Amino acid sequence: TICMGVGKDSIPKAMNFDIIDEMPSYTDKESFQMCRLLAAKEGLVCGGSTGLNVHAALEVAKTLDGPATLVCVAPDSGIKYLSKIYNDTWMASNGFSSDTVLVE
């Protein structure tokens, strides 16, 4: 994975896997496209882990039945990633489309 700060290399010691219901995985592409969508539609310049969390939250939201409270953590800024996630040339050279996927 290219997305820094996520995955098995960055598991905090306080993590209690006994209380985790599921651990879905998503792609760098989904993360980066969500980052770009958040920037384009909401003016939020976030990093890859935030893009990943928002994408995951939207996927979970699709499965909820009835009223619910869903919390999503936005742990990073995208300021460090202007030359990567927000750069069309970098995206293309790493095999990612620079297009955003609209969420309905």
* Inside any domain, residue 34: yes
Q: What are phi and psi of 87, to 5 degrees?
A: -115, 115
pLDDT of res. 60: 93
Query: How many domains, in total, are found in the chain?
Result: 1
Range of the domain at 44: 26-93
| Confidence at 75, pLDDT banded by 50, 70, 90 | confident
Burial of 44 (0-12, 13-18, 19+ CB in 10 A): middle
User: Is the pLDDT confidence value at 96 over 70?
Assistant: yes
For residue 68, the domain's CATH number is 3.40.50.1100
Report yes or no on 78 lying in a domain: yes
Looking at the whole model, is its pTM more than 0.75? yes
Q: For residue range 24-53, what is the model confidence (pLDDT) as tens digits?
A: 889 999 999 999 999 999 999 999 999 999
Q: What is the pLDDT of residue 18?
A: 93
